[in-house]
Amino acid sequence: MLVREIIGNTDTHTRSSKETDLLPLEWFETSRRIQRKHTAGGREVALKFTKEGQQLRQNDILYQDDDLMIVVDILPCEAIVISPRNMAEMAKVCYEIGNKHLPLFLEEEQLLIPADEPLYRWLHAAGYPVVKERRKLLHILRTNVQPHTHGNGGPSFFEKILELASK
């Protein structure tokens, strides 16, 4: 089965199908434009998204007919969970994580990062309240920072590609 677009999300879409088959995905697979996976029920699904920047979310509907609905299910993974005690600590942690160019997820008052032992030890040694837990990484923080160059005066090859893709 070929899927080229997201139909909706079960959080806002009325279910009319009799069977729901989950498509399990790792958090890092949610931004891949082309991939071939199998649902929990064994159905083969080919994802081919042509639009730039499409991100699959928990409970996105990829296929639906009268009998079947195929829905995204993001799998839990080992994660570092940070519970900042105040806004200043939140800002410092976000700055440090951003400086390392790591993906950062927000769940209510907690920051989540995919498990990374050196980072966990560093955060713990720096005195931040951190634990390791098995969690679903659902709400990635997006930034509007563009790649940049230092000193050559012109746009990088990557910046040219981003410019062309945004038109």
Choose the final residue of a domain: 74, 97, 115.
74
Question: What is the domain-level CATH number for residue 9?
Answer: 2.60.260.20
Whether 53 and 91 map to the same domain: the answer is no
Q: Which of 44, 74, 104 is the last residue of a domain?
A: 74
The position carrying tokens 């029920």 is 41
Could you read off the pLDDT of 29-85 as tens digits, one per residue? 999 989 999 999 999 999 998 877 788 999 999 999 989 999 999 999 999 999 999
Based on the fold, state whether residues 69 and 89 are members of the same structural domain.
no
Query: Which range marks the domain in which residue 8 is found?
Result: 2-74
Task: Report which of 77, 85, 135, 78 is spatially closest to residue 106, judged by C-alpha positions.
Answer: 135
Average of pLDDT values for 129-153?
75
Same-domain check for residues 104 and 67 = no
Spatial CA neighbour of 31 closest among 16, 15, 49: 49
Do 86 and 61 share a structural domain? Answer: no
Residues 138 and 70 in one domain: no
Per-residue pLDDT at 52: 73
Question: Do residues 80 and 31 both lie within one domain?
Answer: no
Same domain, 90 and 133: yes
Residue 32 to residue 21: CA distance in whole angstroms: 20
Number of domains in the chain: 2
pLDDT digits (tens, 9 = 90+) for 87-105: 999 999 988 888 888 899 9
Last residue of a domain, one of 33, 48, 74: 74
Q: Does one domain contain both 118 and 145?
A: yes
Whether residue 162 sits in one domain with residue 93: yes
In this structure, what CATH number is given to the domain that contains residue 137? 3.30.70.790
Residue type, 70: I
Tell me the pTM. Answer: 0.76
Is residue 131 within 8 Å of 81, Cβ to Cβ? yes
Residue 6 pLDDT = 92
Which of the residue ranges 49-58, 129-138, 141-150 has the most confident prediction, judged by mean pLDDT?
A: 129-138
Rounded Cα distance between 11 and 58, Å, is 9
115 shares its domain with 160: yes
